[in-house]
Amino acid sequence: MIPPWQYEQLVRDALREDAPFGDPFGEALSGNGKGVFLARREGIFCGGPVAKEVFRRVDPSVAVLFVPEGRRVAAGDCLGDASGPVSALLRAERTALNFLQRLSGVATATSLFADKIMPYGTRLLDTRKTTPLLRNLEKYAVRVGGGTNHRFSLSDGILIKDNGIRAAGGVAEAIAVARRAAHHLVKIEVEAETLAEVEEAVAAGADAVLLDNMKPATVREAVARFGGEVFLEASGGIHLGNVEEYASTGVAAIAVGAITHSAPAFDISFEMTS
């Protein structure tokens, strides 16, 4: 479950964005009502706690109930319901749906990859290619969908990519800079595009190597040569059509930016029933 502090401010800001001066139509209505959330496709449900906070923030008297996080649902399934003042239901529905559709979309995209590589014991990792200010929520959705989080920020660990290598003057130089800058508990990962670069990174003392845009056969060779010395992850050019082939190489992890930056919204509707 995701702790409330990771989304409470986001919910406040989202509601302010959606109705900065209130909802003149909704506020003109009186009485109570009820609505249901319906899935329009198959996938993984995610975001219930955040959507609940949306309704609570609008009106604490609204009662909201959702199916458990991570449940696999089908088109037409009821995902939850909300009941209370009609004005509050109308005020909260779009913001709640925006969160639900985004997070369920990420969880569903993640599950498609995770299901394919599960038999191989390979970890599915996310990246920092996330929506600004939504990283905590999107990485939570990755976990719900069966993935594993890579570092959350630049502060969490050092991943030296091509521009960093160029800026430092080479792989060995970049690792040396990183060792001087980081405390002893921080691991250092280096991006490599060729087996020669992998060998150089390992020789220079990298803790992990990101195999960038390598063909599965090259990844397999990297695993055979260096898998016992450092943590290896593959990334770049990996999609649903080839992710299983990459997993079969024995690589420890596969990082896929698309599970966050390109995940389509999961189609969910909120329909008033009374």
Q: Annotated catalytic residue: which of 69, 93, 126, 191? A: 191
Annotation marks residue 220 as catalytic:
no
Q: Annotated catalytic residue: which of 53, 212, 233, 244? A: 212
Annotation marks residue 189 as catalytic:
no
271 membership: H or E segment, kind and range: strand 268-272
Q: For the CA atoms of the chain, what is the radius of gyration? A: 22
Annotation marks residue 179 as catalytic:
no
Question: CA-CA distances (angstroms) from residue 215 to 132, 229, 257?
Answer: 31, 21, 17
Provide the residue type at 74 as one letter: A
**For residue 148, what is the DSSP state?**
B
Give CA–CA dist 231/202, Å, rounded: 10
Residue with tokens 């189609």, as numbered in its chain: 267
* Beta strands at 188-192 and 208-212: parallel, antiparallel or unpaired: parallel
In this structure, are residues 99 and 54 in contact, taking their beta carbons and an 8 Å threshold?
yes
**For residue 229, what is the DSSP state?**
T
Annotation marks residue 161 as catalytic:
yes
Return the closest-CA partner of residue 260 out of 151, 120, 108. 108
99 membership: H or E segment, kind and range: helix 86-117
Between vectors from CA 80 to CA 76 and to CA 81, what angle results, nearest 5°? 115
Q: Annotated catalytic residue: which of 41, 56, 128, 129? A: 129
Question: In degrees rounded to 5, what are phi and psi of residue 244?
Answer: -70, -35
Helix and strand numbers, DSSP H then E, in the chain: 10, 12
Annotation marks residue 187 as catalytic:
no
Q: Annotated catalytic residue: which of 27, 161, 166, 271? A: 161
Question: In degrees rounded to 5, what are phi and psi of residue 116?
Answer: -70, -35
Q: Annotated catalytic residue: which of 34, 56, 94, 128? A: 94
Would you name the residues annotated as active-site residues? Answer: 94, 129, 161, 191, 212
